Structure 1
Amino acid sequence: MVDELTIERISWERVILTFVVRVSGDAPDSFFLTPNSRPYEVELPVRAEPLGEGRYELTINVTQFNRRAQVPNGTYYLVARRGEENLPAAYPLARSEELGDASRAFVYNKNFSAYTVTFGISDDEAAPYFLMRTYSFGRSGGKPSSKVARLKSKARKKWTKTKRKALRTVFSISAYKRPSDGSNILFASEARPNMQGNLKAVHDRMLERGLDSQFNFGYSFRTGRTSSRQSAFALAWEMGKANTILIDDYFAILKDLGNRDEQKIIQLWHAGSGFKSVGYSRFGQYGSPNLRNAHRLYSYAICGSQHLRDVYSEAFGIEREAVLATGLPRIDGFLREGRAEEVRVDFEKQFPTAKGKRKILFAPTFRGRGSGDAHYDYDQIDFRELYESCGDDSVVLFRQHHFVPDPAPIPQEFSDRLIDVASCADTNDLMLISDVLITDYSSVIYEYSLLERPMIFFAYDLDTYSATRGMHKDYREAAPGSIATTFDELVELLRRPQLSNEATKEFVKENFDYVDTNNSDRVIDTLILSEPATEPQVPSEDEDHRMSERVGEEDPGAPGQEDQLNDPTDNDSDGSYKTEEEDEENQWQTSQ
């Protein structure tokens, strides 16, 4: 056998699988995966970039490959096509033991589900081609220990299903009131008690342009602490009659409500580009999403630059074409001329001890899985030493992440220099009047970089956070400012007469295609008043299922799907161990 397509290297970066291959002879026309059970009946295209001298870099996002889904279960050949000729890939047989190390298992759904990508060599001695195997696995939870516990578990599940059915009924009835002219718009968030950030910027700009005469606005703003059964039904009603739904954070209810075939669902993600991995960028890690997730249901999402389209596409599990670099609407108010002075006057009236002093904004992200257990470790801060380091000319403004409910534990005797500013409505306003920003892995650096002022990164848990949460980039190289990994280093930086801001210029260049006040208009004109030039092709669930059936593997000697996956039933599902969502994920895994 002459190896005309040879794999030289296999590597991973988060969920991105990369092959470096070499092709003998003329350049190929395309690359694709094809299942060994039905070779060339099904062909799944693979993205390729030429490296020169017959070498190519092939990339596969294993969670967003098959039209907003993972690579389907199966065993595949990697093939190059040149004219009418198909060239299956080979791997150097002398290095075949490396394939085990290159394989990956992504465990998620609280360890009840796994998705594996493994590599091997076919058993055809005459043509030992390279094989890629992908499988989804699920397992059921332990049985309740007593008959009473089992009855309670069944009752909980039945009640949950009843509530969800009722919400869907409300949504369906409300959908009859959805106007054919597309004039109903819903502004909604499940992470904020009121309209803020990008949603507020777009809403206010539509009012300024008089578009409220053309559209009917609906609203729903809830958090985990303010939600109720009544507000859930109100949200279902508003969602049902909406033609366009604008959201700014994770919106879990989309899995049950919302119709992406008939409604436009636009994600105006609240954060700019930070360091930490989110969504599918952290698949298989702490806090990983399931393979079926509300993120995949967006019609469109926005970001700040062309460079970031791939980042958001990976995070949300949607195609790059659905992510548009409009810029973030909340930047409009941030850059408005005269805004900083307006904020400064109001702030110094509210906090007179800060008047005329250097203002240091302390705005870290939260620790924990999410809003339910969010916290920050203030034991890392010596408040007395921080107070003394301020001197008479500086104050530190403590701004918690909105997930953290408890105030910063500032001793009363230090409150003239260490100030809790949780009562201020907008973090962006605080950034406008701050001379220095202290943060860690938060995306507040996104807006603050536009001010070209110094930033300090207090990353006391850098190694732990990187290992458990994941990073898109090397933190030490990418942080646009000085890094302090201990409190002593933080104080030393604060005492310096000058801090550099040189790194922010490159950061701005990479993350902003537009540094202007027209971001809201671009969102309105591109996504609300019209459709993008290239509309993403989003398959229905039936289309996804048909693709899975076509790809479905027939691998002699391999255990069948029934043997690989335990189908959880009412009898062996324990509500105390797993949620309804986890059960659904396992049942879906079984169907795959």
Structure 2
Amino acid sequence: MGFDSVVETIAWERVHLTIVVRLDADPDDPIDLERVGYRLQSVRFGYPVRTTYLGEGRHELVLTITDFHQRRPIPDGTWRLIAEYEGRDLCAARFPLERVDILDEFTRAFLYMGNTENYTVTFGITEADVRPEFVVRTYRFYRNPVVANTDSVRGFAGTVARRTLRAARDPRPVGFTIRFLSRLLRRLVGSPGNRILFASEMRSRLEGNLLRVRDRMIERGLDQTFDFTYSFRLPQSSSTLGTLKVIYLLATADIIIIDDYFGLLEYFYLPEKVKLIQLWHAGVGFKSIGYSRFGKYGSPKLHNAHRRYTYAIAGSDHLVDVYAEAFGVEKSAVIATGLPRIDTFLDAETAAAAVRGFEQAHPELSGKRIVLFAPTFRGRGIRDAYYDYDTIDFARWYDWCGDDTVVLFRMHHFVADPPPIPPQYRDRLIDASGFGDTNNLLQVADILITDYSSIIYEYALLRRPMLFYSYDREVYAATRGFHHDFATTAPGKVCDTFDELLRALRDQDFETEKVDAFVAQNFNYVDTGSADRVIDWLILGEPPRAQGDEHDRRK
């Protein structure tokens, strides 16, 4: 009789492909179904697939297409699903022939690189006459974005000019140069064995998680053991000379600690002994980042700097899967240390000092109820970030404030344009861009209004009211994507219009009961030890446990 494996369901969730198969066992060859595994098999190569036994002969196969094997996507090819048991093949999976027409419904085309490249996943069956087998086809396609015009001399000249400009913008020669220089510097200069580089391409100074880890190392006297170096700049302030300096600092560091995307590292030569630690600046947000939005607005390439991390941190075990997906790395590389910047936020003396400092700097706000309006930016990133101020009715918000309330506008640091508050309203509606550290503002805020920002991470620990003004929720969900349903997981009331926002403020309808569940899900630790865990587990030693397969960043 033999074994028979049949595909029952196919489902997608972002970059995760889930296939449920049923294996009918051979009564003459008894096996333990819980120990059956599956692999993708082409003519030349085979790769194991993460397999979970569901019971009753069914197995769930999960393939993360952007991080399938050694931080690489599923390779181009036609792949069969082979059931295997204790080193022997049982059978290839098939698909019911009466349902084969629905396979086209599961095709996915992931566009990236300005729609010039495409990663496609399709499904079908082999052309066998007796028992057609189920196959998964994965291919990458490329197109030249400059269409040739040979109808005239002018058209031909324009085509040549556009293609020349396109070639000049090709990052590959630059990438080759960066890799050559970094390898050369490693060989000629090397690193002393104790040099730590704190760096960011999105900040002009040391702050946040990087600042807390550096300060805690100094408090522990580790600055006597390690040599600290620094590199901070913004994209608009970069220069060729500055880039060469950054390359030198990267190439002569033993440990590199960053807190945001760092494009130079995509091409950089990193020996395996060098640790690259990502202390991602955002604790947790709703919006998809990195490979979680592969194929969508602002999609990353299949290979980028995120994949180079030795370790990345998260606030809880619940978020390990989220960041592994976003960075295109295995789960074992994401360590739930907690966010170092939370240490100072939860420190009672530091919090009290922040409140005192605010009151001294702004005595005119003493005794006022403070509403902090701190949304995230719209746009792809720092170069085109903006916020739609037309969604705010400043006059009505001013009237709502009365004499006892002020609204502090703290826009995302990517947004260059300040809120256009009319002069007659500026005693109650205040641009707080120059009011110091955002975490200090959270300490004095009685109510937080935000949207998809990770600022909720810290504020949730204060157990104070939050409102979520998501005027573009449907568009944002379609273009950027959310990890989880925004309306149900936001730790406060969601308002899609300005009318709803003012009504919630007036009625004090905050849905604060959602905060406790949010904190429980997103924090392994509510303490002041996150920086110590980063130092002890990631800088001085190794994480306390492994959660996945090993990786090799050199490949």
- Shared fold (TM-score, shorter chain, > 0.5): yes
TM-fit CA distance, 1:337: 1.0
Report Cα offsets for 1:119-160 as digits up to 9, x if no partner: 011111211111111111111221685548746864885698
Residue of structure 1 in register with 2:212 after alignment: 201
Residue of structure 2 in register with 1:86 after alignment: 90
For 1:154 and 1:373, how far apart are their aligned partners in 2?
A: 26
Which amino acid in the other structure matches residue 35 of structure 1?
Q
Which amino acid in the other structure matches residue 477 of structure 2?
S
Residue of structure 2 in register with 1:8 after alignment: 8
Residue of structure 2 in register with 1:367 after alignment: 378
Pair 1:148–1:73, CA change in 2 (3 A):
closer
SS of aligned partner of 2:94 = coil
TM-fit CA distance, 1:4: 2.3
For 1:165 and 1:63, how far apart are their aligned partners in 2?
A: 23
TM-fit CA distance, 1:56: 2.2
Pair 1:243–1:386, CA change in 2 (3 A):
same
Pair 1:155–1:99, CA change in 2 (3 A):
closer
Say if 2:489 is the partner of 1:478: yes
Residue of structure 1 in register with 2:551 after alignment: 538
Counterparts of 1:117-132 in structure 2, within 5 Å, are 117-132=121-136
**Matched-pair contact (CA < 8 Å) for 1:32–1:43:** no
TM-fit CA distance, 1:426: 1.9
Report Cα offsets for 1:255-278 as digits up to 9, x if no partner: 232415242111100001111111
RMSD value over aligned CA atoms?
A: 2.2
TM-fit CA distance, 1:349: 2.6
Residue of structure 1 in register with 2:39 after alignment: 33
Counterparts of 1:330-369 in structure 2, within 5 Å, are 330-369=341-380
**Matched-pair contact (CA < 8 Å) for 1:3–1:89:** no
Counterparts of 1:87-236 in structure 2, within 5 Å, are 87-142=91-146, 145=155, 147=157, 150=160, 154=164, 157=167, 167-168=178-179, 170-175=181-186, 176-179=188-191, 182-236=193-247
| More divergent stretch after superposition (506-515 vs 51-60) | 51-60
TM-fit CA distance, 1:177: 3.2
For 1:153 and 1:57, how far apart are their aligned partners in 2?
A: 47
TM-fit CA distance, 1:214: 0.4
Residue of structure 2 in register with 1:553 after alignment: none
Q: How many residues align?
A: 538
TM-fit CA distance, 1:81: 1.3
SS of aligned partner of 1:275 = coil
Say if 2:399 is the partner of 1:392: no
Counterparts of 1:248-287 in structure 2, within 5 Å, are 248-287=259-298
TM-fit CA distance, 1:517: 0.3
TM-fit CA distance, 1:363: 0.6
For 1:167 and 1:112, how far apart are their aligned partners in 2?
A: 24
SS of aligned partner of 2:510 = coil
**Matched-pair contact (CA < 8 Å) for 1:306–1:513:** yes
Say if 2:323 is the partner of 1:312: yes
TM-fit CA distance, 1:341: 2.2
Higher relative CO (Cα under 8 Å, sequence separation at least 6) belongs to: 1
Pair 1:7–1:426, CA change in 2 (3 A):
same
Of residues 438, 441, 456, the one that matches 1:427 is 438
Which amino acid in the other structure matches residue 518 of structure 2?
F
TM-fit CA distance, 1:82: 2.6
Counterparts of 1:539-578 in structure 2, within 5 Å, are 539=552
| More divergent stretch after superposition (349-358 vs 196-205) | 349-358
**Matched-pair contact (CA < 8 Å) for 2:493–2:509:** no
TM-fit CA distance, 1:396: 0.8
**Matched-pair contact (CA < 8 Å) for 1:340–1:433:** no
Of residues 375, 378, 389, the one that matches 1:378 is 389
TM-fit CA distance, 1:353: 2.9
Which amino acid in the other structure matches residue 32 of structure 1?
Y
Say if 2:65 is the partner of 1:65: no
Pair 1:149–1:46, CA change in 2 (3 A):
closer
**Matched-pair contact (CA < 8 Å) for 2:287–2:452:** yes
Say if 2:411 is the partner of 1:406: no
SS of aligned partner of 1:495 = helix
For 2:3 and 2:127, how far apart are their aligned partners in 1?
A: 16
For 2:164 and 2:422, how far apart are their aligned partners in 1?
A: 49
For 1:105 and 1:165, how far apart are their aligned partners in 2?
A: 29
Residue of structure 1 in register with 2:151 after alignment: none
For 2:161 and 2:76, how far apart are their aligned partners in 1?
A: 35
Which amino acid in the other structure matches residue 135 of structure 1?
Y
**Matched-pair contact (CA < 8 Å) for 1:239–1:245:** yes
Residue of structure 2 in register with 1:51 after alignment: 54
SS of aligned partner of 1:18 = strand
Pair 1:488–1:326, CA change in 2 (3 A):
same
TM-fit CA distance, 1:399: 0.7
SS of aligned partner of 1:338 = helix
For 2:451 and 2:279, how far apart are their aligned partners in 1?
A: 23
TM-fit CA distance, 1:86: 1.8
TM-fit CA distance, 1:37: 1.8
SS of aligned partner of 1:46 = strand
